[in-house]
Amino acid sequence: MRKAHLTSAATYWVAKRLPVMISCEFSYDVRDPYAVTLILNSEGEHPVRWVFSRELLADGLAGSVGEGDVTVRSESDGAGGWFLWLEVGRAPHTALFEMPAEPVTEWLLETYRLVPAGQEAACVEWDQPAHLIE
């Protein structure tokens, strides 16, 4: 298997007190080993696709990272659970999403089993970059 996929639910915080549950999908392909793809509202009429660094996601599960279009941070719920917060877009047009961190962490570990950290360059087909625009 050269891909990893996770389908999950996320809370889209439309406003501070207006949460909306949506579906989301994380995907990883060893042909683009540095990146992860997140499709938000994957079952809706207007899904939104974001591609960002796998390292950014990993670092965000351990703290708070990101500047620009994608920021990621994790937070305890106070009862032993962890949540992942993803903010996408540029101010003032950003969207905030919350999801359980555990399934994302397990999925991310699966991507590191496919391509260990530091081994990404060995998987890139430098003479055939056309797969990146699929």
Q: pLDDT tens digits for 20-59?
A: 999 999 999 999 999 999 999 888 888 999 999 999 999 9
Tally the domains of the chain: 1
**33 is a domain residue:** yes
Query: Is the pLDDT score of 106 beyond 70?
Result: yes
CATH assignment of the domain containing 51: 2.30.31.20
**129 is a domain residue:** no
Cβ atoms of 110 and 4 closer than 8 Å: yes
Q: How confident is the model at residue 128 (pLDDT cuts 50, 70, 90)?
A: low
What is the rounded CA–CA span in Å between residue 3 and residue 28?
Answer: 5
**71 is a domain residue:** yes
Residue numbers of the domain that contains 25 = 3-114
pTM value is 0.84
- According to the model, what pLDDT value does residue 43 have? 83
**81 is a domain residue:** yes
**120 is a domain residue:** no
- 116's CB contacts (< 8 A; 6+ apart) are none
What is the rounded CA–CA span in Å between residue 77 and residue 44?
Answer: 28
